[in-house]
A and B are shown apart, each in its own frame.
Chain A
Amino acid sequence: MVGKINNYGIGLRHQHLQQVIDEKPNINWFEVHSENFFYDNLASYQLEQIAQNYPISLHGIGLSLGSGDVLDKNHLHKLKTAVDRFSPDLISDHLSWSSINGHYLNDLLPVPYTQESLNNFVNKVKQVQDFLGRKILIENPSSYICFKDSNISEWDFFAALPSLSGCGLLLDVNNVYVSCFNHGYKAQDYLNCIDAKDVKEIHLAGYTEKKLEQGTILIDDHSKRVSDEVWDLYQKIIQKIGNTPTLIEWDTDIPDLSILLDEAKKAQAVLDA
Chain B
Amino acid sequence: MGLLDGKVCLVTGASRGIGAATARRFAEEGAVVYANVRRPKNLDAYFEELSVHCPGTAKALYFDVREGDAAKQAVMEIRREQGRLDVLVNNAGVMKDAVIGMVSAGLVREMYDTNLWGGVNMLQLASKLMMRQGSGSIINLCSIVGMEGNAGQTAYSASKGAVAAMTKTAAKELAPYGIRVNAVAPGMIDTDMYRSIGEERMRAQIAKIGLGRLGTPEEVADAVLFLAADLSRYVTGEILGVNGGASI
State yes or no: do A and B come from one complex: no
- B residues contacting A by CB (< 8 A) are none
- A residues contacting B by CB (< 8 A) are none
